[in-house]
Chains A and B, each alone.
Chain A
Amino acid sequence: MSRIEACFNAIKENNKKALIPFITAGDPSPDLTVGLMHEMVSAGADIIELGIPFSDPMADGPVIQRASERALAKGTNTDDVFSIVEEFRTKNNMTPIILMGYLNPIEVMGYAQFVNKAAKAGVDGLIIVDLPPEESEELIAELKPHGLDQIFLISPTTHEERLEKICEVASGFLYYVSLKGVTGSNQLDVEAVAHKLNQIRDKTNLPLGVGFGIRDAQTAEAVGRISDAVVVGSALVERIAEHAKDNEKMKKEISSFIKSLRVALDGV
């Protein structure tokens, strides 16, 4: 059983909701990322989404764009991202790690080599923002033998026919993008999200995560009520940016923010 599957099974058994924080690998600096990951797990994170920094993050709002810029300015490259995961795995072999990024850094390495390195490092799945199912066949063929999942996004503009196509190829879980916009937007409509999640549930038994626009305990709780997992990115990255120069303070802030989300989700 994959770590992702085991994680969602445990969540379901305990009648809980999964908390998935996102940070960009190498932000504010590559040597701080592993520490942050452990901190987030002890504060209550169930799965970690780790961003691969990219020069042209087209689907991201300003907060995560700047995280990419900070990470790249510190020289973070794809091999560093694998090293970070590898180091994290020396102390934690249970928490699933999903790499989130854009296709070009993967293409340049070659699908086979990228997937080999990812699997070896202890990665469990990939979210590739600009790789829709139509263009995914080859990558999925590389991922399958390693037991890695490609996590697909579904959005408010995904029509029925596409939804079916996505559910056919998806594994791990599905990530519902709660609004039309970039990461960090601020206009979440919980009722509309609930409606769409019901539509998706008609097509698949995979767990449903929701991301984009979840900024605090209150929105996490509201979304937790209707989904299986909640992804929090920009709100977390903002805190990293704010305390980038004081590592201890940053860890504390991140920890207490994750704890507040955990408490909110456990109250659902």
Chain B
Amino acid sequence: MPEVMKNTDTESFKSMPDKRGHFGIYGGRFVSETLMGPLEELEQAYKKYIIDPDFIAEYEHDLKHFVGRPSPLYHAKRWSEKLGGAQIYLKREDLNHTGAHKVNNTVGQALLAKRMGKKRVIAETGAGQHGVASATVAARYGMECVVYMGAEDIKRQAINVYRMKLLGATVVSVEAGSKTLKDALNEAMRDWVTNVDDTFYIIGTVAGPHPYPAMVRDFNAVVGREARQQCQEQTGRLPDSLVACVGGGSNAIGLFHPFLDDKEVAIYGVEAAGDGIETGRHAAPLNAGKPGVLHGNRTYLMEDKYGQIIETHSISAGLDYPGVGPEHAWLKDIGRANYVSVTDVEALKAFHDLTRIEGIIPALESSHALAYTTKLAPEMDKDAIIIVNLSGRGDKDIHTVAALEGITV
């Protein structure tokens, strides 16, 4: 493995990835030979259409009229006051169609699939949010859709499974390995390698082989672009800090990326500490893992001494993943972003607090970002500004939260 490079004093933080899809030593394209040609083809199509005015117009049209963008930047005054420090602004991705930021990316990739003449789309999903967002766009654009989901996750997320079926998708239960998100991703890759001629693989996070980490980031960067502009409009300046949860890291990079060269803006990515980092039962590769190669890219991973991927734990299915997007790995190493973690218990408290104080039920994923904000805000001045990415709504998590309180809904 190459040495870590720390040479970004003068260059833009937005210059990555390089031509071969590397973010420093991370990223790249580590897949079987059968997928190399198709990934080159995808990269070329992506590069062509991302600057094509017709493509951009169609993407923006659907983000506005189908997704409901721009999403509000909401000043959570009561919560800010209770915490007694910085003013907290929530980027309301929970108000998007399908209830999370995931749809920004699936609209983009489905439009690309359409341009490439692919009639079938496949996706992997953990909590089901990306699966629902994929099934939704497949219905919208008239495509066949197959979603791979771990057998364990199917049990935990029955409502999202039914939503996908209503939308016309086939949900395939993955029985291999730990039967969760990473195994669903393996299975989707196996489908893709078999049906690569007519199939487009919609990866849901900023991981996977190049160009996925860059492409998924670019389709989610609308979050950060809007937030940057809205913050300036509402407060006359840029925020002091950004906070977002990091599983694979798509909502986080979407918020962070447009701010990367604003060096005065501090950036915090929040991983899932599960039962606590020290217990080993967590999903925090940037905090407690080390670099390796999985799912087509080099990044921080949770692995044992022999490089076998180990099981993760988080109350939030969307953060329950042993890897993380390669750009986050790079931002960590060069010190541009800080990666911290909060436990299940802390995230749950934030879930209840926001619900009761602001009347917004957040997703358990987003609750991790909120929980870290409760630590950060009191340390800051009252005129300081924090933007938190409220990446999804919590309706899908009601059963999980109720069950923890011994209530059957």
Chain A, residue nearest B28 (CB) = A135
Chain A, residue nearest B38 (CB) = A157
Q: How far is the CA of A138 from the CA of B193 in the complex (A)?
A: 26
Partner of A185, one of B31, B186, B194, B298: B194
Q: How far is the CB of B289 from chain A (nearest CB, A)?
A: 11
The interface size bin for chain A is 35 or more
Given known A65-B176, A108-B292, contact A131–B37 (CB-CB < 8 A)? no
- B196 x A180 contact (CB < 8 A): yes
Q: Is A260 on the interface with B (CB-CB < 8 A)?
A: no
Q: Is B30 on the interface with A (CB-CB < 8 A)?
A: yes
Contact residues of A between 176 and 218, Cβ < 8 Å to B: 177, 180-182, 185
Q: How far is the CB of A265 from chain B (nearest CB, A)?
A: 25
- B2 x A138 contact (CB < 8 A): yes
Given known A55-B177, A56-B294, contact A135–B308 (CB-CB < 8 A)? no
Chain B, residue nearest A185 (CB) = B194
Q: How far is the CA of A182 from the CA of B193 in the complex (A)?
A: 7
Given known A55-B177, A180-B197, contact A130–B307 (CB-CB < 8 A)? no
Q: Is A140 on the interface with B (CB-CB < 8 A)?
A: no
Chain A, residue nearest B175 (CB) = A62
- A135 x B30 contact (CB < 8 A): yes
- B190 x A61 contact (CB < 8 A): yes
Contacts of A138 in B (CB 8 A): 1-2
Q: How far is the CB of A49 from chain B (nearest CB, A)?
A: 16
- A158 x B293 contact (CB < 8 A): no
- B31 x A111 contact (CB < 8 A): no
Chain A, residue nearest B195 (CB) = A180
Contacts of A79 in B (CB 8 A): 306
Q: Is B114 on the interface with A (CB-CB < 8 A)?
A: no
Contacts of B306 in A (CB 8 A): 77-79, 105, 108-109
Interface string of A131-169 (1 = CB under 8 A from B): 110110010000000000000111111110010001000
- B33 x A177 contact (CB < 8 A): yes
- A78 x B307 contact (CB < 8 A): yes
Q: How far is the CB of A68 from chain B (nearest CB, A)?
A: 9
Which 7 A-B residue pairings sit nearest by Cβ, starting from the closest? A108-B307, A105-B307, A155-B34, A157-B37, A181-B194, A153-B33, A104-B307
Would you list 13 pairs from A and B whose C-beta atoms are within 8 A, ordered by A residue?
Answer: A56-B182, A56-B309, A58-B31, A58-B186, A103-B30, A104-B292, A107-B293, A108-B303, A108-B307, A130-B293, A138-B2, A177-B33, A180-B193
